[in-house]
Structure 1
Amino acid sequence: MKKMVFFTTLMISMLAFVTSANAVGSEYTPVPRSEDTITVMISSLENKNGSLYLQGDQIEWYEGAEADQKFLEHETDIGDMTHAPDGYYIVNDQEKLESFEIDPNAQVLMQLYDHDGTYEGVDVKWNEEVSLTKFLAIYQNNNLLDVSTFPFHLTIKDHKVVKIVQQYIP
């Protein structure tokens, strides 16, 4: 009996360890705000003179209590609603396309895209790193999921985009 209790306790401990080890990076975490990070809706990606450029409309992305506050400030016909639906709110007071050069070594982190051409392959993998070449292919493939409908956080250094992070929308 003591061996069985010991074995069961050991198995539960091991299962808890494995579960917690796999949980690292498996939950949504907001992209931290910084002076060199902006959020855009991408309208196009194109090569010009041997460099890759992104055309995008800068937006303001809010989550949580901040989203609720902005929602209440900007919306007028909301009845008895007291918070932003789905926990986020986007403000785009001025629609203006800007061009951003992408560093050829830019890091790209995706949350949700078509992995294999099946509906089962359209699944969330938090901050999955993909190459810039793969990102271009993902962006152009809108058969099952159009990633151009998602906001992207851009980190800009020395006037070039060095990091692109897809914003998950529930």
Structure 2
Amino acid sequence: MRKLLLCVVLLGICLIPLSVSGVSDKQETAVAEENGSEAINQASAPSYPAYISKITSMDGVTYVTVDYIQFLQGAEADRVFSQQEPDAGMDQAPDGYYILNEEKKTYTLPVAADAQVLMQIYNRSGSWDDADIVENEPISVAKLRSLFSGDNQELMGNFPYYITVVDGKVVRIVQQFVP
């Protein structure tokens, strides 16, 4: 049953549109080689934007529940914003980006114990008033899990993240800063 569930999740991930545009210059995204002769590693695996709705642990394994999105920037964000929000009274996407989430469907994926987690902004001191931006600050998976609890959970879930999956496990999570 567990293998069947994993196969269904992996199939679902493969069916997610691969044309995600507007990725920040600072995002390290790459396309795996088409010939398949080399093993996909973390550096060459593609990353996809998603919201994280929750992070749980079971039997010593951390799981992340994600909802894949399209994170659009620039002219494409403006074009899609105008189509999706015709009554907004604006010609351009606010802050130069637009998040499109046409299919609100979640996937729960295991997180590798040594997954890389890079944050841009989060509650370091216990008060969001003290939060400041630290670009690509590495934190542990356990720290990320703790951020998705209590009062922080809703706020942390409002940030988009770039999720990298290799061999069925999340190996990298990068928070996308949004103003």
- Name the TM tier (shorter chain): 0.7 to 0.9
Tell me how far apart the structure 2 counterparts of residues 29 and 127 of structure 1 sit (CA, whole Å): 13
Structure with the bigger percentage of helix: 1
**1:108 matches 2:117:** yes
Overall identity of the aligned pairs, in %: 36
Q: Tell me if the contact between 1:43 and 1:148 (Cα under 8 Å) persists in the aligned partners.
A: yes
Deviations 1:64-100 (A, max 9, x none): 2221122123222133x22101111011111111111
Deviations 1:115-159 (A, max 9, x none): 112345311111111111111122225359821211111011111
Which residue is equivalent to 1:31? 27
Tell me how far apart the structure 2 counterparts of residues 38 and 144 of structure 1 sit (CA, whole Å): 21
Which residue is equivalent to 2:140? 131
Tell me how far apart the structure 1 counterparts of residues 176 and 47 of structure 2 sit (CA, whole Å): 13
Kindly tell me: are residues 71 and 34 of structure 1, through their superposed partners in 2, closer, same or farther at Cα, counting changes over 3 Å? farther
Q: Which has the larger radius of gyration?
A: 1
Q: Tell me if the contact between 1:37 and 1:155 (Cα under 8 Å) persists in the aligned partners.
A: yes
Q: CA RMSD in A?
A: 2.2
Deviations 1:91-111 (A, max 9, x none): 111111111111110000001
**1:63 matches 2:73:** yes
Aligned partner letter, 1:131: S
SS at match of 1:70: helix
Residues 16-95 of structure 1: matches in 2 within 5 Å? 30-35=26-31, 36-79=46-89, 81-95=90-104
Aligned partner letter, 2:114: N
TM norm structure 2: 0.71
Between 120-129 and 33-42, the greater mean CA deviation after superposition: 33-42
Aligned partner letter, 2:102: D
Cα drift, residue 165 of structure 1: 0.6
Which residue is equivalent to 1:151? 160
Tell me how far apart the structure 1 counterparts of residues 65 and 128 of structure 2 sit (CA, whole Å): 29
TM norm structure 1: 0.74
Deviations 1:14-62 (A, max 9, x none): xxxxxxxxxxxxxx85425444211111111112333211111111111
Tell me how far apart the structure 2 counterparts of residues 46 and 117 of structure 1 sit (CA, whole Å): 21
Structure 1 residues without counterparts, runs of 5 or longer: 1-27
Q: Tell me if the contact between 1:152 and 1:165 (Cα under 8 Å) persists in the aligned partners.
A: yes
